Structure 1
Amino acid sequence: MTSSEGPRRAAVLGSPIAHSLSPVLHRAAYAELGLDHWSYERHDVDEAGLPSFVEKLDAGWAGLSLTMPLKRAVIPLLDEISDTAASVRAVNTLVLTADGRRVGDNTDIPGMVAALRERGVEKVESAAVLGAGATASSALAALAVLCTGPVTTYVRSRARADEMRGWGERLGVDVRIADWAEAAGAFAAPLVVATTPAGTTDTLAAAVPDAPGTLFDVLYEPWPTALAAAWADRGGAVVGGLDLLVHQAVLQVEQMTSRSPAPLAAMRAAGEAALAAR
């Protein structure tokens, strides 16, 4: 992109959205890539407001990042959806093509894979997932790439158990179900993915064994979580939510700007600085 090409816009949409680090990450990428006429904002948009927002996107727009509660609501508004996004029925990236088509993708899944591979996790024989929400389905999709054996998911209800079994069948993952009351049993797995809201796993911190495997805790604020801190104290490898956020944003920047590779180090440094300032 040169200055003669005119301004280009991108944004993150969701509700609530004020906490989003996406503008920090994407703007850091633009600065590093010399995309002086690119802007990236945040807009508080709920499911009811999404169709009108998308309809108003003109040729100046490059794309959107989408967070809750819009990842499924956007699908009917798209012209095309990637296989990755279709596999979990969730879109976090909308790219507008030169001819105005709206293409949806999910960079959370390859972002998870990339974050784990960055820490040396290429393949595991088994894994455990704490929680059964939307992020857990993305975790299963990532584990379909990384895990060669069963994935035990720890859930609180029969409905959630049925959902996770369904995702396992859809994604080709051997999902085993366990009750949340037995969640400490997850820590015997070589890879544990915690997908629950802040505070949910705090009571499990005392149960972390000596020399645990790898923990991927998808939270980034507050950080470290009690579980992540206990895990690191006992010598385990920890991958955090900022790692995921940065890696999925790298892929978004590459898709929206057609520049590759996106500046991972600069984006991570900007994210770390923003969190430290909060």
Structure 2
Amino acid sequence: MPQKNSPAGPPAATGPAAEPGDILQAAATTDIELKRLMEAIYLKYSYDFRDYSGASQKRRVLYALTQLACPSISELQSRVLDDPRMFQQVLQYLTIPVSEMFRDPSFFLALRQQVVPHLRTYASIKVWIAGCSTGEEVYSLAILLREEGLLERSLIYATDINPVSLDKARQGIFPLSSIRGFTANYQQSGGQQAFADYYTAAYAAAIFDKSLRENIVFADHSLATDSVFSETQLVLCRNVLIYFNKKLQDRAFGLFHESLGHRGFLGLGSKESIDFSSYATRFEPLVRAERIFRKRPGLV
């Protein structure tokens, strides 16, 4: 019988520690598998994620592996190619449809104060919200334009590559549990009414006034593969470009520049900037702190 407080025995045997070279080789293999997966998705389904940020893409795919009980990226690729339904599931992880109404309230306040006065000078207004996700930003802008008396002469193009997100956006139904945060954002953004005037609460959901959708066109559009479809006075693409590499960011900025009419406005996310892109000289800051820019005159 061992004595109390006797010294511990030798540590249990363990496997050999991974060598640095093995770790680097495994990481390189993962990167190769990721590229193959993205190429396969592009060739099979025409969704182009090849120029999305590598680090973000890797996190999403590895998370998808755990959620879909898939042992490897190669196995995931096989399943995606064989089953379109599996691809639709993977698409939800690749696009991360997460947003909120009046996100970054100071941005919407700046829109109201600095951009709306210029929009008033147009007989009709066209707005493009690129990467609209599940529609929170779309309804936020519709509410803002209605309060400023501009919604009836506005047309909002809300685009995204994720059909599931677009369907949710069309419905205009959001969890009632989110409304408290949405309301606070709305108030801080310069909202002029009671936020509750815009929705009806039912069955733990907030159903937004369908009249807000009358001037909205929801459509599938990829910044990676599609072209410009209309001239606009305002483009919003917020918290999307942070997931692109520089090449794809430049392509997106090119689309926005082409879409915007004379002296049009571009709004980006709080962590995004046009400063180091190929289009930096073609825009000037209107409200730099809020990432609102204006197309410079005389440049095509």
TM bucket normalised to smaller: 0.3 to 0.5
Which structure dedicates a bigger proportion of its chain to helix?
2
The structure whose Rg is larger is 2
TM (norm. structure 1) is 0.35
Normalising by structure 2, we get a TM-score of 0.33
